[in-house]
Every structure is written in structure tokens, then in C-alpha cells.
Structure 1
Amino acid sequence: MKTQLKQIHPLSWTIIIGTIFGRMATSMSIPFLSIYLIKTMGATASQTGIVVAVSSLIGVFASFYGGYISDIIGRKKVLLISVFGWALVFIGFAVADKIWIFFVMNALNGLCRAMFEPTSRALLADITPQESKLLVFNLRYAAVNLGVVFGPILGLQMGASGSSWSFIIAGIVYVFYGVTLIIQFIRYSELGSATSVSSERITLVGAFRAISGDRVFIYVLMGMIFCVLGYGHFSSTLAQFMEMSPRIEDGATWFSYMLSLNAIVVLACQFPIVKYASKLPPVIPLILGSIFVSSSLLIFGIFQSFIGLMVGVILFTIGEVLMFTMNDVLIDHIAKPELRGTYFGMIGFNNLGNVMAPLLGGFLLDALGADSSVIIFTIIAVTSAFGIPFLLSANRIMTKQ
């Protein structure tokens, strides 16, 4: 472990530490967006679902291009554009006074994320020795959740469900993150440039055809769309349900505690789970994760007690860890080296799940009402499990190979 830690590049540490503060800033504002729109802006559940969904919708179509363009023009340019663009987006959230402005800002939020996420993960893969990649990807995932431990609590203290201050602070954090990246890129000027001459010759259509012909990757992608569908209900449908349910008082407070518990359980369980999951065939953890997430959604619908909801969060989090900690390593294993950024970008199509989650959840809440929690959460639990057959097919092909 110590040897692997010493092999981690300083730029990788910058991304990992920057992820802590970036996610802390984001999680004290964006998770409360649904509640803010309903409570402060007077939006309906369907309107809120559309605003929340547009971020993921943009991400679906932009992620592939974001990863591809980083293979062509270099990771550095894409990272800096997306980080400073993010800062402007959060300032835009802070000054927005109409629902359509929130729609536009969240669309840009999705664009920035679609550019930053695959590029940062591809850069980590570029500069990390093979034997340290599992550690680096899991440190990054731990950083995400460390930020989420404190973000919702800070957001709650600042009244994020009814105030715009959390958006302003998030914008400032991303400005500092961008400046730090500039300093590191100046110090390590050889990193983050375009990868190679051969990759520059690959057209966007050619890259898409190369990846779409990879059967294992396509099955994994299809399975992950439904995994992310289940995951997406936590921050969209569940958040709206907590605010609308007549059986839950002060849903915003309860939801902030659930977000923090989610992150705490990730930090406590991530490395033991990863140690176990790394011994399994690479697709099996994703299948187990989907089962845990679907089961947790059923619990959210059946039990509205504090203890019941927290048990649901624990099961949900175990599923989340199983699905996402091994995902980056799996994609890096499948990817062709000259198209690594493109593969990480293409997996962004799994955000179709994040698009469908708030739309499906918002429709069900409007059509059936928050009183019909058992029916609503049974439907979303069943649909979330639809990815398991695709993942089983991917596992079958990889076993034969």
C-alpha cells in the first residue's frame, strides 16, 4: 500500500483533493435543488423533474464528445474549460429568479460535468502505473463521498433549500480548484497534452464505430444505464417524496441526514467491499450492486420511519459501492489505450438512467400522489433491476474470452 501511495502522481493528488472540495460545494447545493424549486420557486413535481433531468440529458450526449475531444486536444484544456465553466454555472444558479433560468443553468451544469468527469478519470489512468490504478480510482471515489459527508450538513445550515448562498460558495470553490490545476499543469507541463498523432487521426464517427462494436462494453453500458436509473432516484424522486410526503415532517432535514449517512457508509465500507469485490469476476460486483439498490428502493417505499429510511440508505450505499468502485477499473481494462478518454466518455451514456429517474419519479408522484409510496417505489425498484440481464450477458462473454 505504501509503495502504491508513493507512485501516485502529484497531479493525481490534486484531482483527488480537488474532488473533495468540489463535491462538498456541489452537494451542499445541487441535492437541495428539487426542494428549492418546489419550496421557493413554486414549481410542480413534473417541472422539478424536468429541470433536474436536463443535466443528465445533456451529459448523455456531451460525455462521449468530452472524452473524445480530450483524446484529441489534450486533457488539460478540457479540464480547465469545464472547471471554470462550472464556477460560472453556480453563480448563474445564485442569481436565477425564474424556473427556465434554472433549466438553462442545470443544462450547462450537465455539460461541464460531462466534460470534466471522463477527462479527469482518463488523466488519472494516463499517469498512474497499472498496479496502482485500483487504489487511485478508489481514492477518487472516497474523495467524492468525503465531500458529500459534510456538504449536505453545510447546505442545511446555510438554508440551501431556501437560499442561494450555497450556489455562490460552490462557484468560488471551483474558481480555486481551477487556479490550482493551472499551477500544477505549469509545474508538470508535459502532462495533459494531446495523447498521440495516431489518436488525432481517429474521427469522431470512427471512434464511435470502434466502441459500438465492442460487445462487452455495450452490454456493460446497457446494464449501467439501469443501475444509474436506480441510483438517480435517490437524489431526485426520494428528495421530492421527502418534501411532499404527509407522513414526514421536515423532509429537507431528514434528507440531509440521509445524504451524510450515505457518504459515511461509503467511507467506512468502501475499501473492505472493494477488497472482496476485486476477487470476483469484474462484472459480478455491478450485478450485486443492482440487487442491493433495487432492494433499498423497496424499503424507502414501505418504511417511512427514521430507522427504516436509514436501513434503506445503508443497503443503497452498499449497492452504490459495488456498482461504482469497480466500474472505472472495468472500463480502463476494456478500453483501447488510444481511445481511453473516449471509452470513459462513452460510459457517460449511462446517464440516460439519471435522465429517466426524475422524469419517471416526478410523473409517478404527480399521477399517484406521495401517499402511494409502496406502488411508486415498487415500480422504480423493478425498472432499476432491468440492467441485470445485460450485465449477465457481459459476464458470460468475458468468461468465454
Structure 2
Amino acid sequence: MELSHLRRFSAPIWAVLIGTLLTRASFFMVWPYMAVMLHRNFGLSEIEIGIIMSMAALGGAVVALYVGYLSDKLGRKNLLILSCLAHVATFMILAEADQSWLYAAGALMAGVSRAMLEPPARAMISDLLPEIPVREMAHQVRYYCINLGAAFGPLLGLQLGFTGVQSSFYLVALAYLIYGICFVIAFWRIRNVQQPPKNNQNFSQTLRVLANDKAFMMLIVANTLVMYAYLHQETSLVQYLNVLGDRVVPLFTSMITVNAGVIVLLQFPVLKLLNAWSLYQRVYLGVALFTAAFVMYGWIPLDAPEWYWLAATFVLSVGEVVLFPTFNLLIDRAAPDHLRGAYFGAGNLTSIGVSLAPFAGGVILSWFGGPALFLSTAVVLCFAGYLYTCSARHHQKTQTVQAA
């Protein structure tokens, strides 16, 4: 990862990166407090709130697949600008909603709008950067921008008094409006640049291509299992720690701080150390670190010193630094030039794992307890590691056949 690669980024790439940082930071100033608003304003239960949030994730996963296909068929530019306008409308609705069904509709629209933005944006990065090292750098920087926004957005929201304030959704709408304007300016600057090849297949034919790519489908299933596991650290773990009473808030805050610190400070140094490793070798390391972290969570007694929990979180965070940026790179390597949008859209199916984790975590916690949840999660990760191995073998076999 060479910093000199940054000079190769064109205006639309910088629009994606700067817009990602701006919108993710403003989004995370507000969105984590969505549950507070729903409970305070409408008295919804935890289950009802969970259903609304899961609906947003699942709606986005379904739509992303078709939007990715459309971006291959119609081009990225108009879809990216339209998605920004859809975000503006979404968060204005959330800012004005005075009934619970409007909040539910806004949450669903937020998932759909994000699905309209993510696949075309990631595909466009690959379209405009033909050199693989430069392309990989752009995907790494984009992931870093997402993490910066996710790490500091909630803290800024807390400092600015946005916790549970409905009108703060207007700030997110403004951020996406600026993002859309940046796209318009950037696309005008490259209006004469040659566009990538278009997808001449219909949607059902595109789905058959995806389904027949066994290496890619195993990769998506493995990514979904990893996301399912990771969400237990964000949702189920804090429920498990609630029995600590007054200790849970400072402890979980410290864990969030460790996670954010590792991601912000260590992402590029760690990836520099692993520069000579293949993408699948990095995946194996990331999955191994995730597995070790959840085994640690399952083994740690509730009355253990705080540093035990922080050590496990550190291991998980290093695994995240290694693993999550590699997801996009693997999808990018798997996708044909004319189907990049469809492949990145299919990559959003990992949201299924995100939506299932809170429900499954609550059930396992209630019936079997925390150690059983975390150790079973480690088993799920081992299966994901097996699927990555199978995916790598199929990918290698396909390359061998094509070379012959």
C-alpha cells in the first residue's frame, strides 16, 4: 500500500471517499439513537424496534442485488446521484415522522437507499482504476473512511446533543445532498472518460451467472456467516454484560474505544505487514483472530478484570482490520468487468447475517447463556473458514481451466 497511489485517484474516486466519510459520520451521529427515539416517542418494545431495524437490513440486501445489475446495464452515474436524492428524502421523512409506521417506512427506505449507493460506488472505483494496487488502495481508504465515521460519529452526536433528537435527521439529509452535488461536479469533470462495458444480459440471466459461480457463492455465504458472528460483539455481548449492572456502561464504552482505536491506528500498518500475503491468506488470519476472540469471550468469567474483555476485543479488532477490507477485494477479483455492479450488489447479501444476529443471539442467550452463544459463534466461524478454503480451491480450478 503506497501513499503515492493516492495521486492516481480521479475526481469521482475522491467524491466517493470524501462523501463516504461525511455521510457515515453524520449517519452515525443519529442512527445509533434510532431505538431511543422509537421507544421514547412511540413506546415500542425491544422486539418491535428489532423488527424495524432488521427490516431495513433485509430490504437493502434484496434491493442491492437488482441495483447492482442496473448499474451494469445503465451505468453508475445516474444511479449514484439518484441514490443520494433518495437518502435526502428518506432522512427528511424521518425528521418529520410523527407516527411509528412512518419511522418504519423511513428505516426501510434508508436500507433501500444505501443499497442503491453501495454497489455502484464500489463498482465505479474498480471501473476507474485499472491498476490492481491502486484499486485496492482505493477500496482500503473507503473502508477506512467508513470506520472513521462509525467511530467518531456517535461521539460527535453525543457531544452535540443529538441523542434522540428527531430534527437531527436533517443533518444527515444535508450530508447526502452535499454528496450528490460532489458526484455531479466530479462526473462533469470526467464526462469524456470511456465507460466500462455494459451488461447485455437480462436480470434472470445475470442471476444464473452469479449462481453458477460456485467460488463466489461460497464466498458470499462465508462472508454472511462472518457478519453474523461479528454482530454478536455489537449486540449480544452488551446484553450478556448487562448482569454487571453499573459496570456495563464503562466496560462496553472501553471496548468500543479499543475497537475504534485499533481500526483507526492499525489498519494501514497491519495491511502493510500483510502486503505480500494473498487475499485468502489474509482471510484465514482474520477468521482465526475472530474465532480466538469469541472463544475468549466465552471463556472469560463475568467477574473477571476489565482487561480480559479488552484483550479479547483487541484480538477481534485486529481480525476486523485484516478481514473486512479484504471482502471487497475478493469480490472485485471475482467480478467480470461487465458484471461488477451485480457482483458487488450480491455482496450486500451479507446483510442477512447482520439482520439474523440480534434475534438468534437473544434466543441463545435466553436459553443457553453467554458462553454457549460465543462458543457456538466460534464454531460458525470455523465453518466460514472451511467455506473460504472451498472458495479458494474453486477459484484456482477455474483459473486453471481458463488458462488452459
Range into which the TM-score falls when normalised by the shorter chain: 0.7 to 0.9
State the distance in 2 between where 1:164 and 1:294 align.
39
Task: Tell me: CA distance 1:12–1:183, structure 2 relative to 1, closer, same or farther (3 Å).
Answer: same
- TM-score w.r.t. the length of structure 2 is 0.87
Match of 2:328 in 1: 328
Q: How does 1:150-189 map to 2 (within 5 A)?
A: 150-189=152-191
What is the aligned partner in structure 1 of residue 206 from structure 2?
207
Q: Deviations over 1:366-393 (max 9, x none)?
A: x459xx4334444444434431221111
Q: Structure 1's 105 and 379: CA in aligned 2 closer, same or farther, altered over 3 A?
A: farther
1:311 maps to which residue? Answer: 311
The code of the aligned residue for 1:221 comes to: I
Q: What's the secondary structure of 2:25's corresponding residue?
A: helix
Q: Kindly indicate whether the alpha-carbon contact (under 8 Å) linking 1:52 and 1:236 is maintained by their aligned counterparts in 2.
A: no
Deviation at 1:135, TM superposition (A): 1.0
Contact persistence 2:84–2:117 (CA under 8 A): yes
Q: Does structure 1 residue 22 correspond to structure 2 residue 23?
A: yes
Structure 2 portions without partners, runs of 5+: none
The one-letter code matched in structure 2 to 1:289 is G
Q: Structure 1: 5+ residue runs without aligned partners?
A: none
| Cα pair 2:96 2:167 within 8 Å, conserved | no
Alpha-carbon spacing, 1:45–1:57, altered in 2? closer, same or farther (3 Å): same
Task: Say if 2:277 is the partner of 1:280.
Answer: yes
1:84 aligned residue: 85
8 A Cα contact 2:215 2:395, kept in partner: yes
Q: 2:356 maps to what in 1? A: 356
Cα gap change, 1:104 to 1:233, in 2 (>3 Å)? farther
Tell me if structure 1 keeps the 8 A contact 2:228–2:353: yes
- The answer on whether the counterparts of 1:150 and 1:260 sit within 8 Å (CA) in structure 2 is no
1:299–1:160 Cα change, 3 Å: farther
In 2, Cα distance between equivalents of 1:258 and 1:166: 27
In 2, the alpha carbon distance for the partners of 1:339 and 1:113 equals 20
Deviation for aligned residue 1:156: 2.1
Larger mean CA deviation between 376-385 and 272-281 belongs to 376-385
Q: Deviations over 1:11-42 (max 9, x none)?
A: 21121111111110112222333455456644
Q: Deviations over 1:304-358 (max 9, x none)?
A: 6653443333222212222211222221111111111111111111221112112
CA contact (8 A) 2:84 2:177 kept: yes
Structure-2 separation of matches of 1:43 and 1:363:
20
Q: Structure 1 residues 12 and 204 mapped into 2: Cα distance closer, same or farther (>3 Å)?
A: same
Aligned-partner SS, 2:279: coil
Say whether residues 1:114 and 2:115 are aligned partners.
Answer: yes
**2:267 pairs with 1:270:** yes
Decide whether the 8 Å contact of 2:199 with 2:338 is kept in 1.
no
5 Å-filtered alignment, 1:2-401, equals 2-38=3-39, 41-130=42-131, 131-190=133-192, 195-196=196-197, 199-238=198-237, 245-249=242-246, 255=252, 258-300=255-297, 302=300, 306-364=306-364, 367-368=366-367, 372-400=369-397, 401=400
Distance 1:41 1:311 in 2: 39
Distance 1:172 1:31, change over 3 A: same
Cα distance in 2 for residues equivalent to 1:92 and 1:253: 34
Please give the alpha-carbon distance, in whole angstroms, between the structure 2 residues aligned to 1:28 and 1:34. 13
Q: Report the number of matched residues.
A: 393
Counterpart contact for 2:68–2:341, Cα < 8 Å: yes
